[in-house]
Amino acid sequence: MATLQQLSLIPDIAPLQFDGQTFDAKQDGSRLASQFIATRELMLDNEWRNLAQIVLALRKQGIHVTESSISARIRDLRKAKFGGYNVERRRVIGGLFEYRITPASEMTL
């Protein structure tokens, strides 16, 4: 699994333009960018994962995340300004879903 230092191999959308009513660039910018980059790196392996599995994998890398923060980063991945990734979702059981992502130009069937 890649560390945050190895993530420079993946081109970034620079600068990451987070926004929202409660967003404070000074307090939140670096944290959200780290979460976004780490989530993107992890998920580009085309494996299906639920939110808890993503959280566990990123915490093992020393990145503090919660299921709600990962849910938000997955929503960010869909946005054109963050790369417009294809986010696939499938129901596992009840309200539990798994996700995987592919770059916009590489949609899997």
CATH of the domain at 29: 1.10.10.10
Q: 107, 28, 106, 109: which is closest to 73 by C-alpha?
A: 28
Q: Residue 23: pLDDT band by 50, 70, 90 thresholds?
A: low
Range scoring the smallest mean pLDDT among 27-31, 54-58, 88-92, 94-98: 27-31
106 or 64: whose pLDDT is higher? Answer: 64
Task: Decide: pTM greater than 0.85.
Answer: no
Residue 31 lies in a domain: yes
Residue 17 lies in a domain: no
Side-chain half-sphere exposure of 109, counting CA atoms within 13 A: 0
Residue 75 lies in a domain: yes
Residue 2 lies in a domain: no
Residue 12 lies in a domain: no
Residues in the chain: 109
Residue 10 lies in a domain: no
Beta carbons of 7 and 41 less than 8 angstroms apart? yes
Domains contained in the chain, number: 1
Side-chain half-sphere exposure of 69, counting CA atoms within 13 A: 19
Residue 7 lies in a domain: no
96-102 and 86-93: which strand pairing?
A: antiparallel
